[in-house]
Amino acid sequence: MAEKLLTREKGFSEWYVDVVLKAKLADYSDVKGCMVIRPNGYAIWENMQRVLDKMFKDTGHRNAYFPLLIPESFLRKEAEHVEGFAPQLAVVTHAGGKKLEEAYVIRPTSETIINSMFSRWIQSYRDLPLLLNQWANVMRWEMRTRLFLRTTEFLWQEGHTCHETEKEAEDETLKMLEVYRAFAEDYMAMPVLAGRKSDSEKFAGALRTYSIEAMMQDKKALQAGTSHALGQNFAKAFNTQFQGRDGKQAYVWQSSWGVSTRLIGGLILTHSDDAGFVAPPKLAATHVVIIIIGRTPEERGPVREKAHALAADLKKAGLGVIVDDDESKGPGFKYFEYELQGVCLRVELGPKDLAKEQVVMVRRDTRQKDFVPISQAVAHAEGMLDQMQKDLFAKAKKLRDDSTFEVNSYDELKAKADAGFMLAHWCEDPACEARIKEETAATTRNRPFTLEQKPGACVACGKPSPGRIVFSKAY
Amino acid sequence: MAEKLLTREKGFSEWYVDVVLKAKLADYSDVKGCMVIRPNGYAIWENMQRVLDKMFKDTGHRNAYFPLLIPESFLRKEAEHVEGFAPQLAVVTHAGGKKLEEAYVIRPTSETIINSMFSRWIQSYRDLPLLLNQWANVMRWEMRTRLFLRTTEFLWQEGHTCHETEKEAEDETLKMLEVYRAFAEDYMAMPVLAGRKSDSEKFAGALRTYSIEAMMQDKKALQAGTSHALGQNFAKAFNTQFQGRDGKQAYVWQSSWGVSTRLIGGLILTHSDDAGFVAPPKLAATHVVIIIIGRTPEERGPVREKAHALAADLKKAGLGVIVDDDESKGPGFKYFEYELQGVCLRVELGPKDLAKEQVVMVRRDTRQKDFVPISQAVAHAEGMLDQMQKDLFAKAKKLRDDSTFEVNSYDELKAKADAGFMLAHWCEDPACEARIKEETAATTRNRPFTLEQKPGACVACGKPSPGRIVFSKAY
């Protein structure tokens, strides 16, 4: 019999790691802080990529690829940027059997190397807007790592755009944040708050950073995507100028935005349960597993035939399907295994079902069990998957809404630090933010666009606050 | 007016670089030997990936992702492997602000790091075959680089498989070579010879290497893809064992196989001409550009409407379409520009065409010009694209067949070293191979499966040869 999974109640962190390893989503490697993404996990990433890539292209972006290595001197051209990233860099000092004259760093993000190209490609306002995206690996040396959520190397996409005016760049920054929000909610079934980060939490080198923030099942926040208004900071550092409509030279205005394989961690922490991984149907690799039941070849033969016919129909409807005809393992073992791996629907098909021209269909998340005429199986599966997608979102949203509080004093904030999202007044002084982080481990997540802003008094110091912001412990 | 392209006659190498740069396929970067793949080039890579990825999945492979960095000691576990790759390694010695205890190398290929995981994942014959593929960047420090064809960093896929028996591993090795052959010929319209490489040209660590070899327009060979029978070499180095059907422990038998962004270079060198890039329709990013012609708003209005309606119909048929309505540039400039960038078909649409309810359709490669009733435009475009795909292949095949010779003496081999593929007897002694390379710059490409093997005498030393092999200068 297979080994049972740890439970969330016994230890949420340990449960998370156990799901990732036992569902074969990822594994530890011999390289410090780097993981291996196994086929079950990579299939989720491929589905995320397919959906996001289409959203980027539909909003006018094209993909390109820039070098992995960045001359060390490039990072130093933007003071805040190098300060932010220097502690996390991996450095190539030798190559081709020789010490390099100038060291290279492995990209932690690509604003600098990309601007070195933008400055060559852009001459005139006619070259703008320039809307690029890159799918790539990046590296940030981390002290404490966690599979998917924080790894030394991760996979991501980074959008980089150039515009004539600050407004156009800001519009782009917010448009791509909205793309992330829609993706998180409509595909990942993960409700998020879209809003602006505080200055101390912004990207090193940006004017403003916006994020989407989700609540995990343990009520901690996960920053799931960021979009940055870079202003002209990198344009000035790399001299990315254009001749404007007025004939004058000007620096471009830029945005950059990214999501990463961290999203897979968010998906797991949002939906999975004590039986293992739960994948929202819109991103699942396998929607349906058909398990052939029968003790003898005489029993299994006709069942097998019907199972493959049904699988073909389900595939025609665009679903990912596995037929399990392995006689060396019993049905109970298989139910356990496919639940662990997050297959959305299990179809049980045996001689008794065949006689009744029906199948048994079981939903992964609720274990709802339907007896369905075989002739209606495809439509029924599609209906169950639609409902599962909606229910996963609703359940996650309920948890978040039920775990979001207005907090009106410092004592209350300390008391509720583990209870979820705290909406609290803050004077915008980094000192108060730092004190709260130090004493409660809660950080500012963002100022959600949907949160009405009314003046009040900072929970930490009592000075005037422009409106509430979300505080929470976070991954 | 735009700057004219260099011609092939004046200098093939210079023409190649000029096409890559002016068609905006790639650009040089500030990182030694690394290129930037621009959107026009990356779109070709995306199409290649889409087709290949489906072929890999249809043959039972799943994608995964392994770390970029490999502990230096891993490479040393396989003696031939480290010897082959050591001179090309980029080495990370510092990370997170500290000197590392053990240096990491940036993967030049991933057999070692992947075997370190295989050895954990594989226990029994039930875990076999294990069929994985990875899309990734790799790095090999090169002395002389050339855009797409030889760059320090490149993008590729690397398949890695484990099998119970040597025969199964060999079958897989050859199956994936056949996938590459089919891809090169059916999609890239690039005829190739599939065959076995000589021992001195095989992958460092493999038992046998197979390749597909194409002939470029300058009659030099391009190795376009390789598939390796790794035997048990890496399995022994990493202790990748399984319990066999007989209950005994055994090392797995492995294959690995890869193609890279080098293919884009091959595509350019096979089909492009003095007007710029020529893309085979099955991999082209843009199949049709519709150019709106007209001097006044009154003229352009109805043309524009018809152009967008036609574009919608073409897109519905699965084609990539651009409508060019830019009034600041004349048609002549645009024809030049889209030919340069390799758009397969140009559709000219002006008020006169509209009056006749026709469009003018011009094929990129032959400049064949058809006047087509608008109602038949989609079907006609599809027909022209089909024919173009076939003609590109036929033209490339004719060049290769016309430039392939039997060569029966060393003098003849020296005389024909620039004339194409030379089929010559060779005794299989590496010394003769080395001498020929030294004196003529021709190397053994492969022993094509389609080339009947009859004994003869080595062109270099006169000793017995088992059959002819292809010698050629190569990229």
A146-182 pLDDT, tens digit per residue, is 999 999 999 999 999 999 999 999 999 999 999 999 9
Structure token digits, residue B281? 């329709």
Fold adopted by B405-472 = Translation Initiation Factor IF3 (3.30.110)
Is the pLDDT assigned to residue A18 strictly greater than 90? yes
The pLDDT score that the predictor gives to residue A3 is 76
Q: Spell out which residues of chain A touch residue B155, defining contact as CB-CB under 8 Å.
A: 65
Q: Are B57 and A51 in contact (CB under 8 A)?
A: no
Q: To probe the interface with A, which of B24, B28, B31, B123 has the most A CB atoms within 10 Å?
A: B31
- Bridge partners (DSSP) of residue A173 are none
The predicted structure's pLDDT at residue B143 = 87
CB contact under 8 Å between A34 and B68, yes or no, is: yes
Q: How confident is the model at residue B442 (pLDDT cuts 50, 70, 90)?
A: very high
**Position B250 confidence tier, pLDDT thresholds 50, 70, 90:** very high
For residue A7, the model assigns a pLDDT of 96
Give residue B2's pLDDT.
Answer: 61
Chain B, nearest residue to A38 by Cα: B64
Ranges of CATH 3.30.110.30 domains, chain A:
404-472
The 10s digit of each residue's pLDDT in A54-107 is: 999 999 999 999 999 999 999 999 989 999 999 999 999 999 999 999 999 999
CA B49, CA B446: separation in Å to the nearest integer?
A: 26
Nearest chain A residue to B35 by CA: give it: A67
Q: How far is B423 from chain A (nearest CA, A)?
A: 35
| Beta strand pairing call for A130-139 and A62-63 | parallel
Say if the Cβ atoms of A117 and B27 lie within 8 Å: yes
Partners of residue B74 in chain A, C-beta under 8 Å:
30
Residues from chain A that touch B117, judged by Cβ atoms under 8 A, are 27, 29, 36
Residues constituting chain B: 475
Listed in order, the ranges of chain B carrying CATH 3.30.110.30 are: 405-472
Chain B residue whose CA is closest to A101? B32
Nearest CA in chain B to A104: B31
Give the gap in angstroms from C-alpha B141 to the nearest C-alpha of chain A.
5
Q: ipTM, 2 decimals?
A: 0.97
pLDDT of residue B382: 98
Task: State the CB neighbour count (10 A cutoff) for residue A95.
Answer: 23
A136: which chain B residues are within 8 Å (Cβ-Cβ)? 137
Residue A130 has pLDDT above 70, yes or no: yes
pLDDT value of residue B3 = 76
Q: Which amino acid is at A378?
A: V
All residues of chain A having their beta carbon less than 8 Å from the beta carbon of residue B39 are 62-64, 132
Which residues of chain A are in CATH 3.30.930.10 domains?
Answer: 12-271
- A385 CA: distance to closest CA in chain B (Å): 24
| A445 and A421 Cβ atoms separated by less than 8 Å | yes
Cα gap B288→B377, rounded to integer Å: 11
- The verdict on a CB contact (< 8 Å) between B91 and A88 is no
pTM: 0.97
Domain with CATH 3.40.50.800 in chain B: 288-387
Answer yes or no: do A93 and B94 touch at CB < 8 A.
Answer: yes
Distances (CA, A) of B386 to A421, B189, B282, B389: 59, 11, 9, 5
Q: What is the DSSP string of B117-181?
A: HHHHH--BGGG-SEEEEEEEEEE---SS-BTTTB-SEEEEEEEEEEESSHHHHHHHHHHHHHHHH
Cβ pair B139:A68 closer than 8 A: yes
pLDDT for residue B327: 92
A64 CA: distance to closest CA in chain B (Å): 5
Question: Would you state the pLDDT for residue A155?
Answer: 98
Closest CB to A64 among B42, B66, B70: B42
Fold type of domain A404-472: Translation Initiation Factor IF3 (3.30.110)
The architecture (CATH level 2) of B288-387 comes to 3-Layer(aba) Sandwich (3.40)
pLDDT band at B4 (very low <50, low <70, confident <90, very high): confident
SS (H, E, C) B423-458: EEECCCCHHHHHHHHHHHCCEECCEECCCCCCCEEC
* Chain position carrying tokens 């074969």: A24
pLDDT of residue A379 exceeding 90, the answer is: yes
Distance CA B56, CA A222 (A): 35
pLDDT higher than 80, residue B160? yes
Q: Which residues of A touch B38 (CB under 8 A)?
A: 64
Contacts of B65 in chain A (CB under 8 A): 36-37, 42, 45, 155
- The CATH classification number of A288-384 equals 3.40.50.800
Q: What is the assigned CATH class of domain A12-271?
A: alpha beta
Q: What percent of chain A has pLDDT over 90?
A: 98
- A182 CA: distance to closest CA in chain B (Å): 25
Residue A88, min C-alpha distance to chain B (Å): 5
Instruction: Tell me the C-alpha distance between A403 and A306, whole Å.
Output: 47
- The per-residue pLDDT for range A388-434, each reduced to its tens digit, is 999 999 999 999 999 999 999 999 999 999 999 999 999 999 999 99
User: Chain centroid to CA A408: how far?
Assistant: 31
pLDDT band at A4 (very low <50, low <70, confident <90, very high): confident
Asked if residue A307 has pLDDT above 70, the reply is yes
Which among A31, A86, A142 is the nearest to B104, CB-wise?
A31
What is the residue whose two structure tokens read 């007044």? Answer: A425
Separation between Cα atoms, residue B280 and residue B385, nearest integer Å? 8
**Could you tell me where in chain A the CATH 3.40.50.800 domains are found?**
288-384
